[in-house]
Amino acid sequence: MPHSLDYTGPAGDSDDPPVQAGVLLVNLGTPEAPTAKAVRPYLAEFLSDSRVIDYPRWLWWLVLHGVILRVRPSRSAHAYQRIWTPQGSPLRVGSEALTARLREELQRLRPAGPIRVALAMRYGEPSVQHQIEQLQREGVRRLLVLPLYPQYSATSTGSVLDAVADALKSLRWPPELRIVNDYHDDAAHIEALALSIERWWAVHGRGDKLLLSFHGIPERYVRLGDPYQDQCQATARALRERLRLDETQLLVSFQSRVGRERWLQPYTDATVRELAGAGIKTLDVACPGFAVDCLETLEEIAMQNHEFFRAAGGSELRYIPALNDTPAQVESLAKLVLRHTQGWDEFAIESPAGNRPRQEPFTLR
C-alpha cells in the first residue's frame, strides 16, 4: 500500500530542480518462468482482457477456463523454454535494458530538467498501477505514457490506455497526462529500422527477399475501426522507400494467429512456405512491430518459421533482430519523448501543499 514514507525522490533541497516529468514505458508482459505453472496466470490475465478477445464474457470464460487454460500453458511453456535466458524472459530483459539506456540518454539530453523513466508490464509485474503510484511518490506531476508498440491497435495500445485509466482512478491527485498513441511513421524510428537492416546486410549479405512480419489481429477488429493494418502497411511503405526496394523485394505478412477467426492476411507461415516453394533460397525476415525481441520473434519466426521455410525447400530464413536497446532505438525514442514533453520544463506545477503528493489511495466506498 502506498505510504508517504515510501517517497524515494530527491532530498527536497529547494535548490534542486523539481523532478516533475516522468515517462512510463509499457510492454506486454511475459511469464515469470518458462513453466506451465507460471505461464497459466499470465495467459489467463492476457486472454481475459476484452480488448484482446471480445467474445461475450460468460461464453469466453467457459472456453478459456474449460479448454484453453488446460492445454495452452504447457505448449507455450515449451516454446518459452527454447528462448529463455539466464537473466529471464527476453521480453523482460530487453525491455529493462531499453529502459535503462533511455534513462541515461534523457539524463544526457536534459541534465537540468530530469525526467524519471520507468517500465511497466500490461500483464503481470510490475503493473501499470504500481509504477504510476511509484512515479507519483517520486514527485512526478506530468506523465508521458509510451507503449512500446509502434503501430496502434486496440488490442495492444488501447489496452494499455485502459490500464492507465484504471490506475488514475486510485489517485486523489493524478498527474497531468500525455500519451504516445503510436509512432509507426516517425522519421527517426523509420531511420533506426532502416539502418539496423542495412547494417545487418553489411555483415551477413542480402537475402533474396525481405519479409516484414507483423503480429496479426482478427480481421474483424479492422472492419470495426482498428487502424492497426493501415499503420503496419504505412511502416512497410516508408521502409520500402527508404531502402529503395519495390513490392516484389519487400513483402508484408502477419503472424501469431490464435483461434479460428480469420486474421489479417497474408499469414506469415503460409508466406514463407510459398516463397520457398517458388524457389526463394535465402529469406530475410524483420519484425518492426516489436520494439524488443520476444517469444513471437525469437521462437515463432527465428525457429518455427525457419523450420517451415526449410521443410518447403528453402535453405535459410534469417531473422534480423529487433531494435532492442541499440543506440538507434534509444536515440529515436529519446527524440520522441522530448517532442511529446515539450513545454514541460517551462513551468512547474505548484500547489500550496507542495508538489509531493502525500496521498493515501483513493477508493470509492
Ligand X SMILES: C=CC1=C(C)c2cc3[nH]c(cc4nc(cc5[nH]c(cc1n2)c(C)c5CCC(=O)O)C(CCC(=O)O)=C4C)c(C)c3C=C
User: For Fe ion, which is the closer residue by CB, 76 or 341?
Assistant: 76
**Is 307 part of any known ligand binding site?**
no
Binding segment toward Fe ion, per CB under 5 A, in 35-43, 141-149, 295-303, 338-346: 295-303
Burial of 239 (C-beta count, 10 Å sphere; 0-12/13-18/19+): buried
- How does DSSP assign 60-129, residue by residue? HHHHIIIIIHHHHHHHHHHHHHHH-BTTB-HHHHHHHHHHHHHHHHHHHH-SSS-EEEEEEESSSSSBHH
Residue 91 touches which of Fe ion, ligand X, none (CB < 5 to 8 A by kind)?
A: ligand X
Nearer CB in complex with ligand X: 52/276: 52
Report how far residue 227's alpha carbon sits from residue 45's, in angstroms, rounded to the nearest whole number: 24
192 touches, from Fe ion, ligand X, none (C-beta below 5 to 8 Å by class): none
Reduced to 3 states, what is the DSSP secondary structure of residue 334?
A: helix
Closest to 104 (Cα-Cα) out of 337, 293, 349, 343 = 337
3-state DSSP call for residue 27?
strand
Binding site for ligand X (CB under 6 A): 28, 30, 52, 72, 76, 89, 91, 149, 153, 155-156, 215, 217-218, 256, 258, 289-290, 294-296
Least Å from the CB of residue 158 to ligand X:
10
Confirm or deny that 215 is annotated as ligand binding: yes
Report in angstroms how near the CB of residue 348 gets to ligand X at its nearest. Answer: 36
**Per-position x/- string for 205-234, each x denoting binding to Fe ion as judged by CB under 5 A, each - no binding:** ------------------------------
Which of 86, 72, 70, 69 shows the shortest CA–CA distance to 33? 86
Please classify residue 279 by burial: count the beta carbons closer than 10 Å to its beta carbon, then call 0-12 exposed, 13-18 middle and 19+ buried.
Answer: exposed
Does residue 256 belong to the site contacting Fe ion (CB under 5 A)?
yes
Closest distance of CB 256 from Fe ion, Å = 4
Minimum distance from CB of 171 to ligand X (Å)?
28
Distance of CA 313 to the CA centre of its chain: 33
Is 300 a binding residue for Fe ion by CB under 5 A? The answer is yes
Binding site for Fe(2+), by residue number, is: 215, 296
